[in-house]
């Protein structure tokens, strides 16, 4: 008889775990509280405008392809993408504009021409970013940090020999200020701290690893939108026999001694919203939680020993997102666009110290219709506007949203020379409260615990339980961290541990 596995949550890490366990011969059942898979990696449509709801940048596509390859499938038969010619377009309020070309030398030359920063400084920074990645990848990203075997192998000893290259004892901002003479270039590279919800003035310079993914490996775009990552992997999982149960909210993880025995859950009907019977096992050999680790313990394991030191760690930043259907096309905008704050340090002080929004925010605009025209009506664009926000601590979000909307309109309208409000045809809003309720992310934090200290990697929960021998954890709130690539890697680490 096949062993059975339950996955709590159909986020990207939960789906990846299901695929890997199905390949290992498990009978896999995925329970998702929402009516759709993907968690943050989902989509919706309003008045002919399609929006990817969450992650908008696609890097390390080979991690997605690997899930098809281990299943004996051709990735291209399910999922297709392109490599972008440019990573981002940058705007400053005084009219300076810069295109971050995918070609490293073209990018460095653009910075030299527009910001008078020597191109060799940029190239040296990208080379250093690659070194940091090569030192950390196999040691920190592909293995559990909570198993002794991780620290005694060839990759580990190679990492130790190069540990000084990680700059763990200085901040990202300090390292970037040493590297660059133009403060706008410092700001440009400081922004990569936001890729894991951190503060560049606090997070260690080790996080300068992040630009390597975008410039040395590449930024990509799925031809059918970011949600096609979710859709293609769900299709693969179902072909492997994985069973998905939507509107199926897990209420408790049942335990017996030092083992997880099963799940207590309810399923609501897709049509009526009422209760309905669910033909699924309630007892499993293995349980994998893709739910935020804080809520896994607080809500599903309230009687178990709580790992308080980890659960009480400061959380990452969140986001305030406006989804605007804009009935106008802007040639000066690309797929990814950044409108920088004039006082970056003040912006992060507001986020992490004052726990509020800054009046001159950095504004990110993602427009998938630039590459996928059917995402918007002819002549229009689908704007995904993100402002970095503090995690939810009970702020007056209605007042903050109202003010932030005006701040965003003012900044973008100034840079583009038109009143953007005149062209907004439809609007949806996602704030830290709704992120928390829709994805069960503690406090609406996008990346679990913050990475604002040098020991942050060791202050994430392990991918396994020390108390229950058949309970495992995946997703952005546990090791190795948040974002699509790391969430997928968490599934690999956890399911490999199940084997061992």
DSSP assignment of 67-84: HHHTTT--GGGT--EEE-
pLDDT of 457 reads: 64
In CATH terms, the superfamily for domain 4-41+226-313+454-499 is FAD/NAD(P)-binding domain (3.50.50.60)
Of 144-153, 171-180, 251-260, give the lowest mean pLDDT range.
Answer: 144-153
Cα(67)–Cα(90) distance, rounded to whole angstroms?
A: 34
pLDDT of 175 reads: 97
pTM above 0.85, yes or no: yes
Backbone angles phi, psi at 275, to 5 degrees: -75, 150
Average pLDDT over residues 259-280: 63
Of 182-191, 422-431, 491-500, give the lowest mean pLDDT range.
Answer: 491-500
User: Does 1 score more than 60 pLDDT?
Assistant: yes
Model confidence over 304-361: pLDDT tens digits? Answer: 999 999 999 999 999 999 999 999 999 999 999 999 999 999 999 999 999 999 999 9
Q: Is the dihedral of CA 141, 142, 145, 149 positive or negative?
A: negative
The set of residues, in sequence order, having a beta carbon less than 8 Å from that of 399 and lying 6+ positions away, is none
Mean confidence (pLDDT) of the chain? 93
Backbone angles phi, psi at 51, to 5 degrees: -130, 130
- The helix or strand, by DSSP H or E, that contains position 365, with its residue range, turns out to be strand 363-366
Asked whether the beta carbons of 428 and 323 are under 8 A apart, the reply is yes
Angle between helices 484-499 and 12-23 (to 10 degrees): 30
pLDDT of 196 reads: 92
Angle between helices 62-69 and 484-499 (to 10 degrees): 40
Model confidence over 286-306: pLDDT tens digits? Answer: 999 999 999 999 999 999 999
pLDDT of 162 reads: 65
Asked whether the beta carbons of 235 and 97 are under 8 A apart, the reply is no
Cα(100)–Cα(98) distance, rounded to whole angstroms?
A: 6
438 torsion bin: left (phi>0), alpha (psi -120 to 50), beta (else) = alpha
**Residue % of the chain over a pLDDT of 70:** 94
Backbone angles phi, psi at 431, to 5 degrees: -125, 175
Q: Is the dihedral of CA 405, 408, 410, 413 positive or negative?
A: negative
Asked whether the beta carbons of 290 and 7 are under 8 A apart, the reply is yes
Domain map (residue ranges) of the chain: 4-41+226-313+454-499, 120-217
Nearest CA to 424 out of 472, 368, 385, 465 is that of: 385
Length of the chain: 500
pLDDT of 161 reads: 65
pLDDT of 453 reads: 82
Model confidence over 48-100: pLDDT tens digits? Answer: 999 999 999 999 999 999 999 999 999 999 999 999 999 999 999 999 999 99
Pairing of strands 86-91, 336-339: parallel
Average pLDDT over residues 410-416: 98
């Amino acid at each position: 008889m096949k062993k059975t596995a339950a996955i709590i949550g159909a986020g990207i890490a939960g789906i990846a775990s299901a695929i890997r366990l199905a390949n290992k011969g498990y009978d896999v059942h995925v329970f998702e509280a929402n009516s759709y898979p993907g968690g943050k990696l989902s989509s919706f449509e309003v008045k002919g405008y399609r929006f990817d709801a969450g992650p908008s940048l696609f890097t390390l596509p080979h991690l997605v392809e690997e899930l098809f390859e281990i299943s004996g499938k051709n990735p291209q038969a399910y999922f297709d993408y392109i490599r972008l010619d440019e990573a981002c377009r940058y705007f400053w309020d005084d009219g300076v504009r810069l295109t971050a070309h995918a070609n490293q030398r073209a990018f460095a030359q653009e910075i030299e021409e527009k910001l008078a920063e020597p191109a060799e400084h940029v190239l040296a920074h990208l080379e250093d970013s690659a070194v940091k990645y090569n030192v950390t990848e196999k040691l920190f990203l592909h293995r559990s940090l909570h198993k002794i075997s991780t620290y005694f192998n060839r990759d580990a000893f190679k990492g130790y020999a190069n540990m000084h290259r990680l700059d763990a004892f200085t901040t990202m901002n300090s390292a970037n200020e040493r590297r660059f003479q133009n403060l706008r270039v410092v700001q440009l590279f400081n922004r990569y701290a936001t890729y894991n919800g951190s503060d560049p003035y606090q997070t260690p310079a080790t996080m300068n690893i992040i630009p390597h993914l975008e410039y040395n490996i590449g930024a990509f775009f799925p031809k059918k939108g970011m949600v096609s990552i979710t859709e293609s992997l769900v299709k693969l999982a179902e072909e492997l026999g994985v069973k998905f149960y939507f509107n199926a909210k897990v209420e408790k993880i049942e335990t017996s001694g030092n083992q997880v025995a099963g799940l207590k859950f309810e399923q609501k009907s897709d049509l009526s919203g009422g209760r309905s019977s669910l033909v699924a096992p309630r007892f499993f050999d293995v349980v994998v939680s893709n739910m935020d680790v804080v809520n896994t313990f607080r809500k599903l394991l309230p009687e178990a020993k709580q790992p308080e030191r980890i659960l009480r760690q400061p959380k990452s930043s969140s986001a305030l997102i406006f989804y605007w259907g804009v009935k106008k096309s802007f040639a000066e905008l690309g797929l990814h666009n950044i409108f920088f704050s004039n006082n970056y340090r003040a912006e992060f002080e507001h986020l992490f110290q004052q726990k509020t929004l800054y009046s001159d925010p950095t504004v990110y605009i993602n427009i998938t219709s630039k590459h996928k025209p059917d995402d918007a009506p002819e002549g229009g664009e689908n704007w995904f506007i993100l402002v970095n926000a503090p995690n939810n601590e009970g702020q007056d979000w209605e007042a903050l949203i109202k003010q932030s909307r005006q701040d965003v309109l003012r900044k973008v309208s100034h840079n583009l020379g038109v009143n953007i409000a005149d062209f907004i045809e439809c609007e949806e809003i996602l704030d830290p409260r709704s992120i928390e309720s829709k994805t069960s992310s503690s406090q609406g934090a996008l990346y679990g615990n913050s990475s604002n200290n040098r020991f942050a990697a060791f202050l994430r929960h392990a991918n396994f339980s020390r108390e229950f021998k058949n309970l495992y954890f995946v997703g952005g709130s546990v090791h190795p961290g948040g974002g699509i690539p790391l969430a997928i890697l968490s599934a690999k680490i956890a399911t490999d541990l199940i084997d061992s």
